[in-house]
Structure 1
């Protein structure tokens, strides 16, 4: 369990860190959309809006306060490229970019990550960030509703990948 944060926040607990597992090649790599020496962009298994991506640093950093300036800059470059790829792929009405730090902010995985979500005016999720922890009924039905199969996730990933600009 990695709890090496400088942030004074209560953090979610996962052991091992699922994003570190992906970075190490032990996780679900087939949903990685784009990779740089410092970042990964991957398909979120929970698709509130089809195409929802996550951008993570390769190094384990629990919160924004744990990132180096270089990592923060590289993450934002990847976030911008993710947004460009989503616009080219889905022609959405907008893009929501959000990030949470600590349990109180609804962070679910103790590894910094940015959500990049293509949005439609006709969305069922309203105009704010579509976040499972905030919207989940006690019966768990929402999580089940938005979690896509591995096959569907790969289908979505395969249509986004060609639109991701590499520099």
Structure 2
């Protein structure tokens, strides 16, 4: 007989466990506000996650000071990756909520070294948006409608 599965929302946050030292991670850097560690589902060599120490599920739950700390650490990691791995490119991405492709609900920023023919592919091809739509969107966002 197998035990019932525990819903993801009721399981302890794996990133919080990494911060507390109760889950293993290959930590590359940490300071008072952030931790950076190799992604255990790395898409390329050196793929690193940067997280805030305080649990915040997504960008809407983090303040500007913590967001800046995450980006500062990402900048530090990007320099480390460049110095040690010299990748020909680098991609940063951060996903929010299930529809935004987030799969661990503790804010995290991916710092991904890029190599020729790696497994990471661009999710869309840039095409010009309709200018009228852009104008209406701008007006809506700025409260001009």
The counterpart of 1:123, out of the listed 111, 114, 118, is 118
1:26 to 11, 22, 27: 22
Higher relative contact order at CA 8 Å, sep ≥6: structure 1 or structure 2? 1
Going from structure 1 to structure 2, the CA distance change for 1:14 and 1:92 (only over 3 Å counts) comes to farther
Tell me, yes or no, if structure 1 residue 37 matches structure 2 residue 29. Answer: no
**Alignment check: 8 A CA contact 1:14 1:109 kept:** no
- Structure 1 SS opposite 2:56: coil
Equivalent residue of 1:37, what SS? Answer: coil
Give 1:125 deviation, angstroms. Answer: 3.0
Residue from 97, 100, 104 that aligns with 2:99: 104
* Change in CA separation of 1:128 and 1:83 when aligned onto 2, cut-off 3 Å: farther
Report SS of the residue matched to 2:72.
Answer: helix
**Residue 16 in 1 paired to residue 16 in 2?**
no
Q: TM-score, normalised by structure 2?
A: 0.75
Give the C-alpha shift of residue 121 in structure 1: 2.5
Report the CA distance shift for 1:14/1:120 in structure 2 as closer, same or farther (over 3 A): farther
Deviations 1:103-139 (A, max 9, x none): 001100110000000001332433459xxxxxxxxxx
Paired residue secondary structure (1:13): helix
Match of 1:78 in 2: 73
Q: Distance in 2 between matches of 1:37 and 1:105?
A: 28
The separation in 2 between residues aligned to 1:69 and 1:75, in whole angstroms, is 10
CA distance in 2: counterparts of 1:17 and 1:120, whole angstroms? 31
Give distance in 2, aligned partners of 1:125 and 1:59. Answer: 29
Which is higher, the Rg of structure 1 or of structure 2?
2
In structure 1, the residue corresponding to 2:105 is in which secondary structure?
coil
Structure 2, unpaired ranges of 5+: 1-7, 125-145
Unaligned runs of 5+ in 1: 1-11, 130-167
1:58 counterpart residue number: 53
